[in-house]
Amino acid sequence: MGKGRILVVEDDLDISKMLRLYFDSQGYEVLTVTRGNDALELCRTRQPNVVVLDIMLPDMDGYDVCRELRGHLRTSHIPIIFLTQKDERSDKIAGLELGADDYITKPFDIEELKLRVQGAMRRAEATSLTDPTTALPSAKLIEEQLKKLITRDDWAILYIVINHIDAFTETQDIVARDDFLRFVAMNLNETVEAHGTPNDFISHTSGNDFLIITVPAVAEAIKTEFSRRFDQGALTFYDFITRERGHVIYTDRDGNRQEAPLMSLSIGLLTAAHGPFPDIRMLAAEARRRATHVRND
């Protein structure tokens, strides 16, 4: 994905193509859609680092798209930049009141738009709102959700650990590791979209750890489906010889030959019934402690 993932929501195909070609040349992954509903679906399943959003769309206006994104837990953190021909002060205020991060009018300077995009992404990372690799919520947003959680009695946490990712990185590189983490994030989003609830929360807690907040009724279904997807997809990140061998071989920094298992999955399931938990640190620690190796036979 390079510098990040940008979702362009624009029904003018010439502008959409220009933005895709330009930002692609700058090292970004660019997704383009022409309809608001398509944008909402992509934000739930692909988690862009920033959305560049036109106001005038064929199925719903950009204000409604912004309102929907801000109104749902899984998409409320995504930076939004309005790109529109509406340049009245009242239009700008309306967009910003809905939670948009920035507003730029047509015709626009593409270099200025690039700086606005970079600024929105940088602010989200600097305030610990999102992980720069996966675009999932990170430290600050996780803490906020756990604080809300501790007062409820209808929650379930899935704490997900990717085992042996460091050995994978040793045999590949950081780019391959980041691609794999994005694969994990995409499949978490798609799994929760299919089996979870609209208010489920997906986050990237640290390098190889992820966390889902959901409800007990669907937690096992999410765990089972994500485990299946992981088992099917993780092996494709290794070459044929490594897959057949069943482990990785690499030389460490001291020049010693090392062997390590292929990446695997550990998941801990914690519910309110396992409590009470006096604070969020104990809650998060217990969720991670329960993470055990998952094997789908």
CATH number of 5-126: 3.40.50.2300
Query: How far is residue 288 from each of residues 32, 174, 203, 277, measured CA to CA in Å?
Result: 37, 25, 14, 14
Predicted local confidence at residue 280, as pLDDT: 85
Backbone dihedral angles phi then psi of residue 108, each to the nearest 5 degrees: -130, 160
Total-model pTM? 0.79
Task: Given CATH 3.40.50.740, say whether it is the number of domain 139-294.
Answer: no
Interval 17-48: pLDDT, tens:
999 999 999 999 999 999 999 999 999 998 99
User: Residue 124: is it exposed, middle or buried by C-beta count within 10 angstroms (0-12/13-18/19+)?
Assistant: buried
The CATH 3.40.50.2300 portion of the chain extends over 5-126
Predicted local confidence at residue 179, as pLDDT: 93
Return d(Cα 183, Cα 290) in angstroms, integer: 24
With contact defined as beta carbons under 8 Å apart, do 269 and 157 qualify? yes
> How many CA atoms does the CB half-sphere of 204 hold within 13 Å?
24
Predicted local confidence at residue 8, as pLDDT: 97
Predicted local confidence at residue 132, as pLDDT: 85
* pLDDT under 70: residue ranges of the chain: 1-2, 86-88, 128, 295-297
